[in-house]
Amino acid sequence: MKPYDIDSFSSECTDDFVKRIASDLRTQYQNTLCKKQLFPWEPGCFVELDDIYIHLTIDIQIPKPCKPIKQKLSSYDEIFKPKEQTMRYVLEGRPGLGKTTLCAKIAHDWSTGKSALGHIKLLFVLQLGQINHDTNIEDAIKNQLLRSLEVGGTQKLRKAIQTLGSSVIIILDSLDEADPVLFEHKEYGSLLGAINYSEFTTNRILVTTRPWRLSDITQITSCSYTRLELQGFSRADIVAYVNKFFSHVPTDVSSIALGQRLVQYIQANKLLVDASVPILILQICWYWQKSGGKEDIPQRWSHLYDNIFNMMYDNLSSDLKRRVSKVMIALLM
């Protein structure tokens, strides 16, 4: 990426500037978010996001005087339908349910032109855990996504974002990981101001969070926002996930057969059918693959976890094993 020469742009938001930012964002997403580290506990194994991604169900809450009605969205694109009046969206989901992966998928599809978000000029995905409470959004964009933006270019970026209005989506992932100081300030900084409609009023902003942080959102914003709830994998999704995990190009019959045996196992076992959280299914697939399908999957979650963690520990490098042992000893003392 070439550095931006802000002097060559007028103070107005120019098409060239926006096109260049969009192009750099696309490159950035294709090099980062579009590649998925398959096993969070095993560094180094990256796959294309679409090689593992399974569509997740999102429920939208429609407020009613008595109690809200929940409706399923057929796709995440529907969140940002132009006719939708509200510009703030909060997506809640339990740990490991796929919030961050969904953000990556939205960025992936936008950057590869695969989604219905073709009308969106700029799409930013920011990790709230990496933003200080006193950092504003444009600086966070520079730090996390557009490092080659010249100092001072952030002002121009801010103007461009504001001028483009609803054709800009800003995704703030993991409010639960945000600096807690953020919630202690009475007068909102730029970040909270954005959530609270005092800044970036006309842009679309999606915040993701684990459920426990939801009450803080209601405290900081008195404005209406669209509430969305991420649902886990359905039974059909679990089967699709396992098949995708074990599918192999060029075709590897033994890997596919291994996957099919796991599917049979899951279908025969009521306990595992409840395993709707993607990260749990990922762990089961990993465990099954490592053991070559030889080990039985225990009927109880606690036993299953014992086995998975033992296997994870066995797979650690000797250096990591030493570090884990030190932590365990410190915890027990």
Ligand X SMILES: Nc1ncnc2c1ncn2[C@@H]1O[C@H](COP(=O)(O)OP(=O)(O)OP(=O)(O)O)[C@@H](O)[C@H]1O
Report the site for Mg ion in 13-32 (rule: CB under 5 A): none
Counting beta carbons within 10 angstroms of the beta carbon of residue 75, is it exposed (0 to 12), middle (13 to 18) or buried (19 or more)?
exposed
Asked if 131 and 195 count as a contact pair (C-beta separation under 8 A), the reply is no
Q: Write out the two tokens for 187.
A: 């007068």
Q: Which is nearer to ligand X, 197 or 241 (CB)?
A: 241
130 binds Mg ion (CB under 5 A): no
195 contact choice in ligand X, Mg ion, none (CB below 5 to 8 Å, kind-dependent): none
Amino acid letter at 254?
S
Element at 227 (helix H, strand E)? strand 226-230
Binding segment (CB under 6 A) for ligand X, from list 82-90, 97-105, 164-172, 212-220: 97-105
Q: Which is nearer to ligand X, 111 or 174 (CB)?
A: 174
Q: Write out the two tokens for 51.
A: 């090689």
Applying CB under 6 A, among 88, 91, 96, 221 the residue interacting with ligand X is 96
Binding segment (CB under 6 A) for ligand X, from list 48-56, 83-91, 113-121, 322-330: 48-56
Q: Which is nearer to ligand X, 51 or 295 (CB)?
A: 51
144 binds Mg ion (CB under 5 A): no
Applying CB under 6 A, among 189, 259, 278, 293 the residue interacting with ligand X is 278
89 contact choice in Mg ion, ligand X, none (CB below 5 to 8 Å, kind-dependent): none
101 binds ligand X (CB under 6 A): yes
Binding segment (CB under 6 A) for ligand X, from list 11-19, 53-61, 160-168, 183-191: 53-61
Q: Which is nearer to ligand X, 153 or 278 (CB)?
A: 278
Element at 226 (helix H, strand E)? strand 226-230
279 binds ligand X (CB under 6 A): yes
Q: Write out the two tokens for 289.
A: 């693959």
C-alpha distances (whole Å) from 78 to each of 57, 129, 266, 301, 318 are 12, 27, 32, 36, 48
122 contact choice in ligand X, Mg ion, none (CB below 5 to 8 Å, kind-dependent): none
259 binds ligand X (CB under 6 A): no
Report the site for ligand X in 104-163 (rule: CB under 6 A): none
Binding pattern to Mg ion, positions 180-209, x when CB under 5 A? Answer: ------------------------------
Q: Which is nearer to Mg ion, 174 or 203 (CB)?
A: 174
CA of residue 68 relative to chain centroid, distance: 25
Applying CB under 6 A, among 21, 34, 54, 120 the residue interacting with ligand X is 54
Binding pattern to ligand X, positions 173-202, x when CB under 6 A? Answer: -x----------------------------
Within a 10 A sphere around the Cβ of 43, how many other Cβ atoms? 10
Report the site for ligand X in 280-319 (rule: CB under 6 A): 282
CA of residue 201 relative to chain centroid, distance: 23
Q: How far is the C-alpha of 248 from the C-alpha of 289, rounded, in Å?
A: 13
Classified as helix, coil or strand, 14 is coil
C-alpha distances (whole Å) from 318 to each of 37, 134, 306 are 21, 40, 20
Q: How far is the C-alpha of 284 from the C-alpha of 233, rounded, in Å?
A: 14
User: What stretches of the chain show up as alpha helix (H) in DSSP?
Assistant: 15-31, 99-111, 137-144, 153-164, 190-195, 214-220, 235-246, 253-268, 270-273, 278-290, 301-314, 318-332
Report in angstroms how near the CB of residue 56 gets to ligand X at its nearest: 4
Report in angstroms how near the CB of residue 318 gets to ligand X at its nearest: 25
Residues that bind Mg ion (CB under 5 A): 99-100, 174
